[in-house]
Amino acid sequence: MPKPGVPDFDNKTKQSAWKETARQNYADLAYSLSPSSEASSQSKSGADMKAQESKDIVVTSEDGITKIMFNRPSKRNAITLQMYQEIMLALKNASRDDSTITVFTGAGDYYCSGNDLSNLISAAGEIQELAIKCAIALRDLVSSFIDFPKPLVAVVNGPAVGLAVTLLGLFDAVYASDKATFHTPFSHLGQSPEACSSYTFPKIMGPAKATEMLLFGKKLTAREACAQGLVTEVFPDSTFEKEIWTRLKAYAKLPPIVSIWFLLVGMWKSFFKGKMYFRRTNPKKTSHGMKISKELMRKNEKQKLHAVNAEESTIIQERLTSEECSNALLNFVSRKVKL
């Protein structure tokens, strides 16, 4: 046992050696997994890299709907740290545009496979610095979902894993294809729940079912997720796209609420002019009824959600620097390489 007041140089040396070994193993495995096209892209200029990475999140706006699509089908739509920033920017813009609702979906067969593990295994430098960077980025991303003012809908077209699942607890509606699955393998990777799921999941599905998912890593089918309240409705995969977008377009056409202030002012003016009329307001300057309803439903929860998000992010930072997490990630990637 180290004596009080005496630095434990032997223990510090062991920790430094372990961190350096883990970092090198991460780097070696990441390089072995990287396709040649990705390796060659590192030689491109910063502008070219930014243009290429921006294609990973595709944002379109039509029929009152802003659609934010994960667009890395070859990587099962896994989320990189750069994509964190692009998602937050997309949400910020969507909160200010004229759309009524905002929809997330995925390109290809997957909805999203969660965090790209190359976020952890390919970064150079100290593990502690990387853990802090990842934790802060995650906290900011989740905060942008907590504070998003408009109805937020997930169109889950295929399997969802990790962060893609836990974020669903912050959505207002989740529609899924019957081919979708929902998996949160945190314990298998030596990690812990994020995106406020330690709070939202027990509220949505009950403590016992939330434990099965978040602690034991049970994978749910779309219909199981619907029965437990995580999914709003399930559609046959053959008709999923047609049915869900028809429905969402109809939702987006719901009329905006008339401002009570302008209504009262219009009635007051018309009374003194001797004729009654309702003053019409500019729809673009009028708050939408769904937006107001969401604010009423969420305002008492926001403070709690932000507190949970901060606590989860702190724990995640600690977990990322643990030997258990590093060994679990190495084992996971090693199995992937063998496949």
Tens of pLDDT, residue by residue over 121-160, are 655 457 778 888 889 999 999 999 999 999 999 999 999 9
Torsion of CA 5, 9, 14, 20, to 10 degrees: 110
Lowest mean pLDDT among 6-20, 89-103, 193-207, 301-315: 6-20
> Residue 117 above 50 pLDDT?
yes
> Residue 12 above 60 pLDDT?
no
Give residue-wise pLDDT tens across range 287-329: 467 778 888 777 889 999 999 999 999 999 988 887 787 777 6
Give residue-wise pLDDT tens across range 66-86: 999 999 999 999 999 999 999
pTM: 0.74
Which amino acid does the sequence have at 300?
N
Which amino acid does the sequence have at 291?
K
Average pLDDT, the chain: 79
Nearest CA-CA partner of 146 in 292, 306, 295: 306
Phi-psi region of 197 (alpha: psi -120 to 50; beta: other; left: phi over 0): alpha
pLDDT at position 261: 40
pLDDT at position 54: 59
> Residue 51 above 60 pLDDT?
no
> Residue 33 above 50 pLDDT?
no
Domains of the chain, by residue range, sit at 20-30+47-250+300-338, 255-290
20-30+47-250+300-338 belongs to which CATH class?
A: alpha beta
**Rounded to an integer, what distance in angstroms lies between the CA atom of residue 148 and that of residue 61?**
17
Confidence band for 276, pLDDT divided at 50, 70 and 90: very low
Comparing 229 with 41, the larger pLDDT belongs to 229
